[in-house]
Structure 1
């Protein structure tokens, strides 16, 4: 499995998790520039949620959450603000979902980061 396929698997698991928790998936892999891609854009009630997904096979090299750098967060925020302005959205938040596949599947959801 290459990196893109691995990332897609994590995003698929994150979408399943979000749907089970009442979210509606609006878009996936939305590109705003070469540096900015938002993995999942979802909606929960009246709020649009921009979701960054990080997937790791295990915690051997750190948790998935540790992979979110200040630069990555800045790029996500820039893309989210562009989307909010373009679609005239009033309520939004940025979430991060960390997925660890082994030894057992673990999904961690940080809201409104």
Structure 2
């Protein structure tokens, strides 16, 4: 009899593996990893990187299939708002909070990686 392990720890392990794969990929693309899992009340950023002068806030999503829109569809406006909130908090801690930044997404759909640069923007 086959079993399906859907415990939170297995989901957390899959998420951690996807974040590690994304970090490795972005590093190979020339980005510098600054932080992982930056959390505040109301939001979290999976990876924070630097690409030249630009801070890059990265959301990592993995889905086993493209059903229901795949990984990209799971980053809805509510999730974007939580990412933006956490990014504002992070930026306020910097000596130069007006640093250029962008929001990227690294998506894994059925194991296939897609990097969406500048996937969405904070309201001006």
What TM-score, normalized to structure 1?
A: 0.89
Q: Hey, what does 2:93 align to over in structure 1?
A: 86
SS at match of 2:69: coil
**Count of residues paired in the alignment:** 109
1:37-90 CA-to-partner distances (Å, cap 9, x unmatched) read 100000010111000000112224431101111111000001111111211241
Structure 1, unaligned runs of 5 or more: none
Question: Hey, which bits of structure 1, 4+ residues long, moved more than 3 A?
Answer: none
Given candidates 108, 113, 116, the residue that maps to 1:107 is 113
Q: Hey, what does 2:73 align to over in structure 1?
A: 66
Q: Hey, what does 2:17 align to over in structure 1?
A: 9
Q: Hey, what does 2:46 align to over in structure 1?
A: 39
Structure 2, unaligned runs of 5 or more: 1-8
Q: Provide the C-alpha distance between the structure 2 equivalents of 1:10 and 1:66, rounded to a whole number of angstroms.
A: 17
What TM-score, normalized to structure 2?
A: 0.81
User: Which protein shows a greater Rg?
Assistant: 2
Q: Does 1:26 align with 2:34?
A: yes
CA-atom RMSD, angstroms? 1.4
Q: Provide the C-alpha distance between the structure 1 equivalents of 2:66 and 2:14, rounded to a whole number of angstroms.
A: 15
